[in-house]
Structure 1
Amino acid sequence: MSGVLYLIPNTLGEGDADALAAVLPAAVRSRAATLGYYIGENAKTTRAFLKKVGTEKPIQEIEIRELNVNTPAGEIDRLLAPVLAGADAGLVSEAGCPAVADPGALLVRRAHERGVKVVPLVGPSSILLALMASGLNGQSFAFHGYLPVDPAERAKRLRDLEQQSRKAKQTQIFIETPYRNRALLDTLIATCAPSTLICVAADLTLETETIASRPAAEWKKAPTLDLHKRPAIFLLLAA
Protein backbone atom coordinates (compact mmCIF):
# COMPACT_ATOMS: atom_id res chain seq x y z
CA MET A 1 0.00 0.00 0.00
CA SER A 2 1.39 3.40 -0.95
CA GLY A 3 1.95 6.24 1.48
CA VAL A 4 0.36 9.69 1.45
CA LEU A 5 1.74 12.81 -0.23
CA TYR A 6 1.12 15.75 2.10
CA LEU A 7 1.31 19.24 0.62
CA ILE A 8 2.93 21.20 3.45
CA PRO A 9 2.59 25.02 3.33
CA ASN A 10 5.58 27.18 4.14
CA THR A 11 5.95 30.72 5.40
CA LEU A 12 6.15 33.56 2.86
CA GLY A 13 9.37 34.96 4.30
CA GLU A 14 12.11 34.32 6.82
CA GLY A 15 11.23 34.08 10.46
CA ASP A 16 11.54 31.99 13.60
CA ALA A 17 9.28 29.31 15.06
CA ASP A 18 6.91 31.98 16.37
CA ALA A 19 6.50 33.38 12.85
CA LEU A 20 5.75 29.87 11.61
CA ALA A 21 3.12 29.38 14.30
CA ALA A 22 1.44 32.63 13.27
CA VAL A 23 0.62 31.37 9.76
CA LEU A 24 0.47 27.55 10.04
CA PRO A 25 -2.22 25.83 12.13
CA ALA A 26 -1.07 23.54 14.93
CA ALA A 27 -2.44 20.47 13.12
CA VAL A 28 -0.30 21.28 10.07
CA ARG A 29 2.85 21.75 12.16
CA SER A 30 2.08 18.52 14.00
CA ARG A 31 1.73 16.53 10.78
CA ALA A 32 4.87 18.09 9.31
CA ALA A 33 6.83 17.06 12.39
CA THR A 34 6.03 13.37 11.91
CA LEU A 35 7.26 12.90 8.34
CA GLY A 36 10.56 11.21 7.56
CA TYR A 37 10.71 12.01 3.85
CA TYR A 38 10.55 15.47 2.30
CA ILE A 39 10.66 16.86 -1.22
CA GLY A 40 11.53 20.54 -1.52
CA GLU A 41 12.90 23.08 -3.96
CA ASN A 42 16.08 23.49 -1.91
CA ALA A 43 17.43 21.03 0.65
CA LYS A 44 19.02 23.74 2.82
CA THR A 45 15.86 25.84 3.15
CA THR A 46 13.79 22.68 3.68
CA ARG A 47 16.01 21.78 6.63
CA ALA A 48 15.59 25.32 7.98
CA PHE A 49 11.81 24.93 7.72
CA LEU A 50 11.91 21.59 9.54
CA LYS A 51 14.07 23.07 12.28
CA LYS A 52 11.37 25.68 12.93
CA VAL A 53 8.64 23.01 12.82
CA GLY A 54 10.39 20.85 15.40
CA THR A 55 10.58 17.31 14.01
CA GLU A 56 10.08 14.06 15.92
CA LYS A 57 13.17 12.58 14.25
CA PRO A 58 16.56 14.29 14.25
CA ILE A 59 16.69 16.38 11.07
CA GLN A 60 19.81 14.56 9.87
CA GLU A 61 17.77 11.34 9.79
CA ILE A 62 15.05 12.84 7.58
CA GLU A 63 15.51 12.16 3.88
CA ILE A 64 15.26 15.31 1.77
CA ARG A 65 15.27 15.32 -2.03
CA GLU A 66 15.06 18.33 -4.33
CA LEU A 67 12.43 19.17 -6.93
CA ASN A 68 12.89 22.48 -8.71
CA VAL A 69 12.90 24.03 -12.19
CA ASN A 70 16.13 22.17 -12.98
CA THR A 71 14.77 18.71 -12.14
CA PRO A 72 14.40 16.53 -15.27
CA ALA A 73 10.88 15.22 -15.86
CA GLY A 74 12.28 11.69 -15.71
CA GLU A 75 13.21 12.20 -12.04
CA ILE A 76 9.61 12.56 -10.88
CA ASP A 77 9.09 8.80 -10.57
CA ARG A 78 12.30 8.50 -8.55
CA LEU A 79 11.04 11.14 -6.13
CA LEU A 80 7.70 9.36 -5.81
CA ALA A 81 9.23 5.88 -5.37
CA PRO A 82 9.47 5.97 -1.53
CA VAL A 83 5.79 6.98 -1.35
CA LEU A 84 4.80 4.11 -3.64
CA ALA A 85 6.80 1.86 -1.33
CA GLY A 86 4.70 2.97 1.64
CA ALA A 87 6.38 6.07 3.09
CA ASP A 88 4.40 9.22 3.79
CA ALA A 89 6.02 12.31 2.28
CA GLY A 90 5.84 16.07 2.61
CA LEU A 91 6.10 18.40 -0.39
CA VAL A 92 7.22 21.92 0.52
CA SER A 93 7.72 25.00 -1.62
CA GLU A 94 9.67 28.24 -1.50
CA ALA A 95 6.43 29.93 -2.65
CA GLY A 96 4.21 29.20 0.37
CA CYS A 97 1.69 26.68 -0.97
CA PRO A 98 3.13 23.69 -2.85
CA ALA A 99 2.11 23.15 -6.48
CA VAL A 100 0.73 26.70 -6.94
CA ALA A 101 3.12 28.66 -9.17
CA ASP A 102 5.53 25.94 -8.15
CA PRO A 103 7.29 22.96 -9.84
CA GLY A 104 5.74 20.61 -7.27
CA ALA A 105 2.64 20.44 -9.47
CA LEU A 106 4.44 17.85 -11.63
CA LEU A 107 4.89 15.56 -8.64
CA VAL A 108 1.26 15.97 -7.57
CA ARG A 109 0.03 15.13 -11.06
CA ARG A 110 2.18 12.00 -11.15
CA ALA A 111 0.95 11.01 -7.69
CA HIS A 112 -2.63 11.06 -8.95
CA GLU A 113 -1.63 9.02 -12.00
CA ARG A 114 -0.06 6.38 -9.74
CA GLY A 115 -3.01 6.28 -7.35
CA VAL A 116 -1.24 8.00 -4.43
CA LYS A 117 -3.44 9.85 -1.96
CA VAL A 118 -2.73 13.61 -2.03
CA VAL A 119 -3.61 15.70 1.04
CA PRO A 120 -3.36 19.52 0.84
CA LEU A 121 -2.85 21.25 4.19
CA VAL A 122 -3.86 24.77 5.15
CA GLY A 123 -1.34 27.61 4.90
CA PRO A 124 -0.63 31.02 3.37
CA SER A 125 -1.03 31.56 -0.37
CA SER A 126 0.34 34.95 -1.40
CA ILE A 127 -1.90 34.94 -4.46
CA LEU A 128 -5.12 34.45 -2.52
CA LEU A 129 -4.08 36.73 0.34
CA ALA A 130 -3.36 39.51 -2.15
CA LEU A 131 -6.70 38.97 -3.89
CA MET A 132 -8.54 38.97 -0.57
CA ALA A 133 -6.95 42.25 0.48
CA SER A 134 -7.15 44.01 -2.89
CA GLY A 135 -10.86 44.82 -3.03
CA LEU A 136 -10.83 43.68 -6.67
CA ASN A 137 -13.12 41.04 -8.18
CA GLY A 138 -12.75 37.83 -6.21
CA GLN A 139 -15.49 36.04 -8.20
CA SER A 140 -13.47 35.90 -11.42
CA PHE A 141 -9.69 36.10 -11.57
CA ALA A 142 -6.66 34.68 -13.40
CA PHE A 143 -3.03 34.23 -12.37
CA HIS A 144 -0.43 34.71 -15.11
CA GLY A 145 2.89 34.21 -13.33
CA TYR A 146 5.78 36.31 -14.63
CA LEU A 147 5.37 38.89 -17.37
CA PRO A 148 7.96 39.51 -20.14
CA VAL A 149 11.25 41.13 -19.10
CA ASP A 150 11.56 43.24 -22.26
CA PRO A 151 9.92 46.65 -21.53
CA ALA A 152 8.03 46.83 -24.84
CA GLU A 153 6.78 43.25 -24.57
CA ARG A 154 5.85 43.81 -20.92
CA ALA A 155 3.79 46.89 -21.80
CA LYS A 156 2.05 45.02 -24.61
CA ARG A 157 1.24 42.12 -22.29
CA LEU A 158 -0.20 44.51 -19.71
CA ARG A 159 -2.40 46.17 -22.33
CA ASP A 160 -3.65 42.71 -23.34
CA LEU A 161 -4.39 41.81 -19.71
CA GLU A 162 -6.19 45.10 -19.14
CA GLN A 163 -8.34 44.49 -22.21
CA GLN A 164 -9.10 40.97 -21.02
CA SER A 165 -9.99 42.31 -17.58
CA ARG A 166 -12.32 44.94 -19.03
CA LYS A 167 -14.05 42.45 -21.32
CA ALA A 168 -14.51 39.69 -18.73
CA LYS A 169 -14.67 41.90 -15.60
CA GLN A 170 -11.88 39.69 -14.33
CA THR A 171 -9.03 40.45 -11.91
CA GLN A 172 -5.62 39.80 -13.46
CA ILE A 173 -2.84 38.67 -11.11
CA PHE A 174 0.89 38.42 -11.81
CA ILE A 175 4.30 38.55 -10.15
CA GLU A 176 7.81 39.78 -10.86
CA THR A 177 11.34 39.07 -9.71
CA PRO A 178 11.71 41.31 -6.63
CA TYR A 179 14.51 43.48 -8.06
CA ARG A 180 12.29 44.35 -11.06
CA ASN A 181 9.19 45.22 -9.01
CA ARG A 182 9.52 48.95 -9.46
CA ALA A 183 9.93 48.67 -13.23
CA LEU A 184 6.74 46.60 -13.41
CA LEU A 185 4.77 49.06 -11.27
CA ASP A 186 6.03 52.00 -13.34
CA THR A 187 4.92 50.22 -16.52
CA LEU A 188 1.53 49.45 -14.98
CA ILE A 189 0.95 53.08 -14.04
CA ALA A 190 2.06 54.36 -17.44
CA THR A 191 0.18 51.76 -19.48
CA CYS A 192 -3.18 51.32 -17.77
CA ALA A 193 -6.19 53.57 -18.19
CA PRO A 194 -6.59 56.15 -15.37
CA SER A 195 -9.61 54.30 -13.92
CA THR A 196 -8.03 50.84 -13.89
CA LEU A 197 -7.58 49.61 -10.34
CA ILE A 198 -4.06 48.49 -9.46
CA CYS A 199 -3.15 46.66 -6.26
CA VAL A 200 0.33 45.88 -4.97
CA ALA A 201 0.74 43.50 -2.03
CA ALA A 202 4.29 43.12 -0.70
CA ASP A 203 5.80 41.09 2.16
CA LEU A 204 2.51 39.37 2.90
CA THR A 205 2.22 37.93 6.44
CA LEU A 206 5.46 39.68 7.47
CA GLU A 207 5.83 42.64 9.83
CA THR A 208 6.72 44.79 6.81
CA GLU A 209 3.53 43.86 4.95
CA THR A 210 2.29 46.60 2.61
CA ILE A 211 -0.96 46.48 0.61
CA ALA A 212 -2.08 49.41 -1.53
CA SER A 213 -5.03 49.44 -3.95
CA ARG A 214 -5.98 52.50 -6.01
CA PRO A 215 -6.76 53.62 -9.60
CA ALA A 216 -3.83 54.15 -11.95
CA ALA A 217 -4.43 57.91 -11.91
CA GLU A 218 -3.99 57.99 -8.13
CA TRP A 219 -0.86 55.85 -8.30
CA LYS A 220 0.72 58.61 -10.40
CA LYS A 221 0.15 61.07 -7.55
CA ALA A 222 1.02 58.70 -4.69
CA PRO A 223 4.38 58.71 -2.88
CA THR A 224 6.91 56.26 -4.29
CA LEU A 225 6.38 52.79 -2.86
CA ASP A 226 9.63 51.02 -1.94
CA LEU A 227 9.38 47.56 -3.49
CA HIS A 228 13.08 46.81 -3.93
CA LYS A 229 13.77 43.11 -3.32
CA ARG A 230 10.40 42.65 -1.59
CA PRO A 231 8.27 39.68 -2.70
CA ALA A 232 5.14 41.21 -4.21
CA ILE A 233 1.90 40.33 -5.98
CA PHE A 234 0.40 42.68 -8.58
CA LEU A 235 -3.29 42.84 -9.51
CA LEU A 236 -5.36 44.91 -11.91
CA LEU A 237 -9.05 45.30 -12.65
CA ALA A 238 -10.18 47.46 -15.56
CA ALA A 239 -13.33 49.52 -15.11
Structure 2
Amino acid sequence: MSTEQKSGILYIVATPIGNLEDISRRAVRVLSEVDLVAAEDTRHTGQLLSALGISAELLSVHEHNEEKRSSQLIDQLASGLSVALVSDAGTPLISDPGFVIVRACREAGIRVVPVPGPSAVITALSVSGLPSDRFQFEGFLPRNSSKRRARLEELVALPHTLICYESSHRLRDSLEDFRSVYEADRQVVIARELTKQYETLLSGTPDELLGVLETDANQVRGEMVILVGPSAGKNSEELTISVDKLLKAALDELPPGQAAAMVARLTDMRKKELYQRTMEMKKP
Protein backbone atom coordinates (compact mmCIF):
# COMPACT_ATOMS: atom_id res chain seq x y z
CA MET A 1 0.00 0.00 0.00
CA SER A 2 1.42 3.39 -1.00
CA THR A 3 2.37 5.73 1.81
CA GLU A 4 2.74 8.72 -0.52
CA GLN A 5 1.09 11.83 0.95
CA LYS A 6 -1.76 13.12 -1.20
CA SER A 7 -2.02 16.87 -1.49
CA GLY A 8 -5.10 18.70 -0.33
CA ILE A 9 -7.50 20.69 -2.49
CA LEU A 10 -7.81 24.45 -2.90
CA TYR A 11 -11.50 25.36 -3.19
CA ILE A 12 -12.43 28.72 -4.72
CA VAL A 13 -15.70 29.44 -2.92
CA ALA A 14 -18.19 32.11 -3.98
CA THR A 15 -20.01 33.80 -1.10
CA PRO A 16 -23.08 36.11 -1.03
CA ILE A 17 -22.76 39.66 -2.35
CA GLY A 18 -25.46 40.76 0.07
CA ASN A 19 -28.30 38.36 0.82
CA LEU A 20 -27.10 35.47 2.98
CA GLU A 21 -29.72 33.17 1.44
CA ASP A 22 -27.79 33.22 -1.83
CA ILE A 23 -25.04 30.97 -0.52
CA SER A 24 -25.17 27.47 -1.98
CA ARG A 25 -25.53 24.26 0.03
CA ARG A 26 -22.29 23.07 -1.50
CA ALA A 27 -20.45 26.21 -0.37
CA VAL A 28 -21.71 25.72 3.19
CA ARG A 29 -20.58 22.09 3.15
CA VAL A 30 -17.12 22.90 1.79
CA LEU A 31 -16.58 25.75 4.26
CA SER A 32 -17.53 23.46 7.14
CA GLU A 33 -15.24 20.62 5.97
CA VAL A 34 -11.97 22.33 4.98
CA ASP A 35 -9.04 22.63 7.36
CA LEU A 36 -8.48 26.32 6.67
CA VAL A 37 -10.37 29.27 5.21
CA ALA A 38 -8.18 31.86 3.47
CA ALA A 39 -10.10 35.15 3.55
CA GLU A 40 -9.59 38.67 2.25
CA ASP A 41 -10.87 40.07 5.56
CA THR A 42 -10.97 37.54 8.41
CA ARG A 43 -13.32 39.69 10.47
CA HIS A 44 -15.86 39.93 7.67
CA THR A 45 -15.60 36.23 6.82
CA GLY A 46 -15.72 35.35 10.51
CA GLN A 47 -19.12 37.03 10.74
CA LEU A 48 -20.33 35.10 7.69
CA LEU A 49 -19.17 31.77 9.08
CA SER A 50 -20.71 32.55 12.45
CA ALA A 51 -24.06 33.29 10.77
CA LEU A 52 -23.80 29.91 9.03
CA GLY A 53 -22.92 28.11 12.26
CA ILE A 54 -19.44 27.22 11.02
CA SER A 55 -16.32 27.27 13.16
CA ALA A 56 -13.12 27.38 11.07
CA GLU A 57 -9.49 28.42 11.26
CA LEU A 58 -9.02 31.66 9.30
CA LEU A 59 -5.98 33.05 7.51
CA SER A 60 -5.86 36.54 5.99
CA VAL A 61 -5.00 36.74 2.31
CA HIS A 62 -5.19 40.18 0.71
CA GLU A 63 -3.47 42.19 -2.01
CA HIS A 64 -0.59 43.20 0.29
CA ASN A 65 0.41 39.72 1.47
CA GLU A 66 -0.74 37.38 -1.31
CA GLU A 67 2.77 36.59 -2.55
CA LYS A 68 3.91 35.68 0.96
CA ARG A 69 0.79 33.63 1.73
CA SER A 70 1.08 31.74 -1.55
CA SER A 71 4.09 29.65 -0.52
CA GLN A 72 2.63 29.14 2.96
CA LEU A 73 -0.64 27.81 1.57
CA ILE A 74 1.12 25.56 -0.92
CA ASP A 75 3.09 23.97 1.92
CA GLN A 76 -0.12 23.33 3.83
CA LEU A 77 -1.91 21.96 0.78
CA ALA A 78 1.06 19.75 -0.07
CA SER A 79 0.90 18.30 3.45
CA GLY A 80 -2.66 17.13 2.77
CA LEU A 81 -4.71 19.98 4.23
CA SER A 82 -7.62 21.40 2.24
CA VAL A 83 -8.20 25.14 1.96
CA ALA A 84 -11.16 27.31 0.94
CA LEU A 85 -10.32 30.68 -0.58
CA VAL A 86 -13.03 33.36 -0.24
CA SER A 87 -13.25 37.09 -0.89
CA ASP A 88 -15.32 39.60 1.05
CA ALA A 89 -18.26 39.01 -1.30
CA GLY A 90 -18.99 37.19 -4.52
CA THR A 91 -16.63 35.07 -6.58
CA PRO A 92 -12.94 35.29 -5.59
CA LEU A 93 -10.36 36.67 -8.05
CA ILE A 94 -12.89 38.91 -9.84
CA SER A 95 -11.21 42.25 -9.02
CA ASP A 96 -10.17 40.58 -5.75
CA PRO A 97 -7.05 38.73 -4.53
CA GLY A 98 -6.42 35.09 -5.38
CA PHE A 99 -4.85 34.94 -8.84
CA VAL A 100 -1.30 34.56 -7.50
CA ILE A 101 -2.34 31.69 -5.24
CA VAL A 102 -4.37 29.86 -7.87
CA ARG A 103 -1.58 30.12 -10.43
CA ALA A 104 1.02 28.90 -7.93
CA CYS A 105 -1.16 25.95 -6.91
CA ARG A 106 -1.77 24.88 -10.49
CA GLU A 107 1.94 25.12 -11.26
CA ALA A 108 2.64 22.99 -8.19
CA GLY A 109 0.20 20.33 -9.34
CA ILE A 110 -2.29 21.02 -6.57
CA ARG A 111 -5.93 20.53 -7.50
CA VAL A 112 -8.00 23.73 -7.65
CA VAL A 113 -11.79 23.25 -7.49
CA PRO A 114 -14.40 25.98 -8.15
CA VAL A 115 -17.48 26.25 -5.95
CA PRO A 116 -19.53 28.69 -8.06
CA GLY A 117 -22.08 31.15 -6.83
CA PRO A 118 -22.87 34.89 -6.71
CA SER A 119 -21.00 37.42 -8.84
CA ALA A 120 -21.89 41.10 -8.91
CA VAL A 121 -20.88 41.35 -12.58
CA ILE A 122 -23.24 38.63 -13.81
CA THR A 123 -26.00 39.61 -11.38
CA ALA A 124 -25.99 43.20 -12.62
CA LEU A 125 -25.90 42.18 -16.28
CA SER A 126 -28.83 39.79 -15.87
CA VAL A 127 -31.20 42.55 -14.73
CA SER A 128 -29.77 45.55 -16.61
CA GLY A 129 -31.86 45.27 -19.75
CA LEU A 130 -28.70 45.83 -21.81
CA PRO A 131 -27.44 43.34 -24.44
CA SER A 132 -26.06 40.32 -22.59
CA ASP A 133 -24.90 37.99 -25.36
CA ARG A 134 -21.44 39.59 -25.27
CA PHE A 135 -19.86 41.93 -22.75
CA GLN A 136 -16.51 43.24 -21.53
CA PHE A 137 -15.63 43.52 -17.84
CA GLU A 138 -13.11 46.24 -16.98
CA GLY A 139 -12.95 45.85 -13.20
CA PHE A 140 -12.30 49.27 -11.67
CA LEU A 141 -11.61 52.06 -14.14
CA PRO A 142 -8.57 54.28 -13.41
CA ARG A 143 -9.02 56.59 -10.43
CA ASN A 144 -7.49 59.57 -12.21
CA SER A 145 -10.05 61.37 -14.39
CA SER A 146 -7.73 61.97 -17.37
CA LYS A 147 -6.62 58.34 -17.38
CA ARG A 148 -10.21 57.20 -16.98
CA ARG A 149 -11.31 59.27 -19.96
CA ALA A 150 -8.43 57.94 -22.02
CA ARG A 151 -9.47 54.37 -21.25
CA LEU A 152 -13.12 55.10 -22.06
CA GLU A 153 -12.06 56.59 -25.39
CA GLU A 154 -10.23 53.32 -26.15
CA LEU A 155 -13.46 51.45 -25.43
CA VAL A 156 -15.87 53.77 -27.21
CA ALA A 157 -16.15 51.52 -30.29
CA LEU A 158 -17.12 48.41 -28.33
CA PRO A 159 -20.14 46.82 -30.04
CA HIS A 160 -21.28 45.20 -26.80
CA THR A 161 -21.99 46.00 -23.16
CA LEU A 162 -19.22 47.39 -20.98
CA ILE A 163 -19.24 46.54 -17.25
CA CYS A 164 -17.11 48.06 -14.50
CA TYR A 165 -17.03 48.50 -10.75
CA GLU A 166 -16.98 51.95 -9.20
CA SER A 167 -16.68 53.31 -5.69
CA SER A 168 -19.41 55.55 -4.33
CA HIS A 169 -17.17 58.60 -3.93
CA ARG A 170 -16.07 58.48 -7.60
CA LEU A 171 -19.49 57.77 -9.12
CA ARG A 172 -20.33 61.36 -10.07
CA ASP A 173 -16.89 61.97 -11.58
CA SER A 174 -17.11 58.77 -13.60
CA LEU A 175 -20.54 59.72 -14.94
CA GLU A 176 -19.13 63.10 -15.93
CA ASP A 177 -16.43 61.30 -17.89
CA PHE A 178 -18.99 59.00 -19.52
CA ARG A 179 -20.93 62.11 -20.54
CA SER A 180 -17.87 63.75 -22.05
CA VAL A 181 -16.66 60.69 -23.98
CA TYR A 182 -19.81 58.95 -25.20
CA GLU A 183 -22.65 60.23 -27.35
CA ALA A 184 -25.51 61.92 -25.48
CA ASP A 185 -27.97 59.03 -25.86
CA ARG A 186 -25.66 56.26 -24.63
CA GLN A 187 -27.56 54.08 -22.14
CA VAL A 188 -26.02 53.52 -18.71
CA VAL A 189 -27.25 51.39 -15.80
CA ILE A 190 -26.15 51.79 -12.20
CA ALA A 191 -26.77 48.61 -10.17
CA ARG A 192 -26.41 49.56 -6.51
CA GLU A 193 -26.41 47.41 -3.35
CA LEU A 194 -27.36 44.28 -5.28
CA THR A 195 -29.37 41.68 -3.28
CA LYS A 196 -29.37 43.98 -0.24
CA GLN A 197 -32.21 45.88 1.43
CA TYR A 198 -31.67 49.08 -0.57
CA GLU A 199 -30.99 47.47 -3.94
CA THR A 200 -31.69 49.89 -6.79
CA LEU A 201 -31.31 49.91 -10.56
CA LEU A 202 -31.04 53.28 -12.29
CA SER A 203 -31.15 53.51 -16.07
CA GLY A 204 -30.67 56.46 -18.38
CA THR A 205 -28.13 58.60 -20.18
CA PRO A 206 -25.15 59.90 -18.18
CA ASP A 207 -26.80 63.32 -18.06
CA GLU A 208 -30.08 61.89 -16.77
CA LEU A 209 -28.33 59.82 -14.11
CA LEU A 210 -26.32 62.80 -12.90
CA GLY A 211 -29.65 64.58 -12.45
CA VAL A 212 -30.95 61.70 -10.32
CA LEU A 213 -27.86 61.83 -8.11
CA GLU A 214 -28.38 65.54 -7.56
CA THR A 215 -31.90 64.97 -6.20
CA ASP A 216 -31.26 61.75 -4.24
CA ALA A 217 -28.04 61.59 -2.23
CA ASN A 218 -28.76 57.98 -1.22
CA GLN A 219 -27.93 56.87 -4.76
CA VAL A 220 -24.23 57.55 -4.21
CA ARG A 221 -24.02 55.23 -1.21
CA GLY A 222 -22.99 51.60 -1.11
CA GLU A 223 -21.42 49.24 -3.62
CA MET A 224 -22.22 49.53 -7.29
CA VAL A 225 -21.71 48.17 -10.75
CA ILE A 226 -21.90 50.41 -13.82
CA LEU A 227 -22.99 49.00 -17.18
CA VAL A 228 -22.75 50.90 -20.44
CA GLY A 229 -24.69 49.71 -23.47
CA PRO A 230 -23.51 49.71 -27.09
CA SER A 231 -23.83 53.00 -28.89
CA ALA A 232 -27.52 53.67 -29.59
CA GLY A 233 -28.29 53.48 -33.30
CA LYS A 234 -24.70 52.74 -34.30
CA ASN A 235 -24.84 50.82 -37.57
CA SER A 236 -22.19 48.65 -39.16
CA GLU A 237 -20.97 51.45 -41.43
CA GLU A 238 -20.42 53.77 -38.45
CA LEU A 239 -18.65 51.00 -36.54
CA THR A 240 -16.38 50.38 -39.54
CA ILE A 241 -15.42 54.05 -39.55
CA SER A 242 -14.58 53.89 -35.82
CA VAL A 243 -12.48 50.76 -36.27
CA ASP A 244 -10.63 52.31 -39.18
CA LYS A 245 -9.83 55.34 -37.03
CA LEU A 246 -8.43 53.03 -34.35
CA LEU A 247 -6.35 51.15 -36.92
CA LYS A 248 -4.93 54.35 -38.39
CA ALA A 249 -4.00 55.63 -34.93
CA ALA A 250 -2.40 52.30 -34.03
CA LEU A 251 -0.43 52.21 -37.29
CA ASP A 252 1.15 55.54 -36.40
CA GLU A 253 2.92 53.81 -33.51
CA LEU A 254 3.01 50.08 -34.34
CA PRO A 255 3.74 47.71 -37.23
CA PRO A 256 0.64 46.26 -38.96
CA GLY A 257 0.56 42.94 -37.07
CA GLN A 258 0.78 44.58 -33.66
CA ALA A 259 -1.71 47.29 -34.64
CA ALA A 260 -4.21 44.65 -35.77
CA ALA A 261 -3.71 42.66 -32.56
CA MET A 262 -4.30 45.73 -30.37
CA VAL A 263 -7.49 46.75 -32.17
CA ALA A 264 -8.69 43.13 -32.09
CA ARG A 265 -8.43 43.21 -28.29
CA LEU A 266 -10.37 46.47 -28.11
CA THR A 267 -13.17 45.50 -30.49
CA ASP A 268 -13.31 41.68 -30.41
CA MET A 269 -12.96 41.66 -34.19
CA ARG A 270 -10.80 39.01 -35.81
CA LYS A 271 -7.11 39.88 -35.99
CA LYS A 272 -6.83 38.39 -39.50
CA GLU A 273 -9.60 40.63 -40.81
CA LEU A 274 -8.07 43.70 -39.17
CA TYR A 275 -4.63 42.87 -40.55
CA GLN A 276 -6.07 42.69 -44.06
CA ARG A 277 -7.60 46.12 -43.53
CA THR A 278 -4.24 47.52 -42.44
CA MET A 279 -2.73 46.20 -45.66
CA GLU A 280 -5.46 47.99 -47.63
CA MET A 281 -4.75 51.20 -45.76
CA LYS A 282 -1.04 51.02 -46.61
CA LYS A 283 -1.69 50.72 -50.35
CA PRO A 284 -0.90 53.89 -52.28
| CA 1:32–1:74: 2 relative to 1, 3 Å | closer
Q: How many angstroms apart in 1 are the aligned matches of 2:199 and 2:163?
A: 18
Q: Which range moves more in the overlay, 205-214 or 150-159?
A: 150-159
Aligned-residue offset at 1:223: 6.3
Q: How many angstroms apart in 1 are the aligned matches of 2:66 and 2:111?
A: 23
Q: How many angstroms apart in 2 are the aligned matches of 1:82 and 1:127?
A: 32
Higher helix share: 2
Aligned-residue offset at 1:90: 0.7
Q: Which amino acid aligns with 1:174?
A: C
1:28-52 CA-partner distances (Å, limit 9, x unpaired): 2122222230111122222112112
Between the two structures, name the one with larger relative contact order (CA 8 Å, sep ≥ 6): 1
In structure 2, stretches of 5+ residues that fail to align are 1-5, 232-284
Aligned residue in 2 for 1:7: 12
Q: Which amino acid aligns with 2:108?
A: R
Aligned residue in 1 for 2:223: 231
Q: Which amino acid aligns with 2:113?
A: V
| CA 1:172–1:191: 2 relative to 1, 3 Å | same
Q: Which range moves more in the overlay, 31-40 or 148-157?
A: 148-157
Q: How many angstroms apart in 1 are the aligned matches of 2:62 and 2:213?
A: 38
Aligned residue in 2 for 1:16: none
Counterpart selection for 1:213 from 203, 210, 219: 203
**Contact map agreement 2:213 2:220 (CA 8 A) in 1:** no
Aligned residue in 2 for 1:28: 27
Aligned-residue offset at 1:190: 4.0
Q: Which amino acid aligns with 1:145?
A: G
Q: How many angstroms apart in 1 are the aligned matches of 2:15 and 2:166?
A: 20
Aligned residue in 1 for 2:122: 128
Q: How many angstroms apart in 1 are the aligned matches of 2:164 and 2:142?
A: 11
Aligned-residue offset at 1:118: 1.6
Q: Provide the TM-score with structure 2 as the length reference.
A: 0.72
Q: How many angstroms apart in 1 are the aligned matches of 2:53 and 2:173?
A: 40
Q: Which range moves more in the overlay, 178-187 or 139-148?
A: 178-187
Q: Which range moves more in the overlay, 198-207 or 93-102?
A: 93-102
Alignment of 1:1-239 (within 5 A): 1-13=6-18, 19-20=19-20, 22-55=21-54, 59=55, 62-71=56-65, 73-163=67-157, 165=158, 169-216=159-206, 218-219=208-209, 222=212, 224=214, 226-239=218-231
Q: How many angstroms apart in 2 are the aligned matches of 1:175 and 1:223?
A: 17
1:71-121 CA-partner distances (Å, limit 9, x unpaired): 152431112221111111110101411122111122111121122222211
Q: Which range moves more in the overlay, 191-200 or 225-234?
A: 225-234
3-state DSSP of counterpart to 1:5: strand
Aligned-residue offset at 1:127: 0.7
Q: Which range moves more in the overlay, 133-142 or 123-132?
A: 133-142
Q: How many angstroms apart in 2 are the aligned matches of 1:230 and 1:182?
A: 14
Q: How many angstroms apart in 1 are the aligned matches of 2:76 and 2:199?
A: 39
3-state DSSP of counterpart to 1:227: helix
Identical counterparts, % of pairs: 27
After superposition, the CA RMSD in angstroms is 2.1
